[in-house]
Amino acid sequence: MHKKPVVLVTRKLPDAVERKLAENFEAILNPEDRLYTTDEILQIANDVDAILPCHTEKFSAETIAQLPPRVKAITNFSVGTDHVDLVAAKQKGVIVTNTPDVLSDATAEIAMLLMLGAARRASEGERMVRNQQWQDWSPAFMVGKQITGKRIGILGMGRVGQVLAKRARGFDMTVHYHNRKPLDSSHADGAVYHATVEDMLPEIDVLSVHCPATKETTGLLNRQRIALMNSNAILVNTSRGAVVDDDALVEALKTGVIAAAGLDVFNGEPDGIHPEYRKLENTFLLPHIGSATEETRDAMGFRVIDNLNAIFNDEEPGDRVA
């Protein structure tokens, strides 16, 4: 009887995904959803053919070097791959995949929520109601920023950025974007291209970050670039915390360089988040839930299974990144 490939699943996945994994593979599941240490992953890896991690597990060059030869693939349950050293994986011959496309709608929704929440002071207002601090109404009470008709700048006009642009047009927003290269007209749909981030920042009212975390984009939004934004501007990040210099953003929010920020991702998340974000009234904060819909999480899981099936059928996986 042909033995099923053994797959280590590092986190609790949706029930439908785990059932399908169990049909196709010998799946080592994590029903308690406990965060494995690197040492634990390496120990279990001696008996597995592939690892199915999330962005919460880090595969540095050192960790990948210690993976046993039996491990054929790291099939990520995430679109981002900054937690995996892709160069080291490629050198070792370990296949790496991700789950693009399927989380674009959900992430764009969260970007809209963050934009609206930051603009309309939603965190501040929600706390006021919960803590019974809402005493009165007046024309000057809880006045925020209107989004309709404003200018949105999208940093990284990939799949998520393009979906967000469509949603923003529903608010009659003018779409600006910076990308490594301009999109063809059918994908740009009238959006204004800026060849540099510096060119775009003074021209927008909302900046939404949708570029991956790479060596080139780490700390991209530093003090100098944030200072180019106008004082009524809002910064939204649903991509990766590493794109933002936290000290610079906190300072800008405190001193009125920009008006507000809506953040779903952070450097050092969850425990190492910059403590000042929690203290600021002009931040709208979420716990990295950009893809957290039932539909999207199921779709991500099935996409991973498609990649695993291809790998163990000696076919090229559709979402290979290394």
Catalytic residue ranges: 240, 269, 288
Give the angle 136-127-269 at the CA atoms, nearest 5°: 160
Q: Which long-range contacts does 194-199 make (Cβ < 8 Å, 24+ apart)?
A: 194/153, 197/155, 197/225, 198/225, 198/228
Q: Which backbone phi and psi does 73 adopt, to 5 degrees? A: -155, 150
User: Are 255 and 263 within 8 A, CB to CB?
Assistant: no
Task: Give bridge partners of residue 155 from the DSSP assignment.
Answer: 178, 209
How far is the C-alpha of 201 from the C-alpha of 249, rounded, in Å?
A: 14
Continuous segment of H or E residues that includes residue 129: helix 122-130
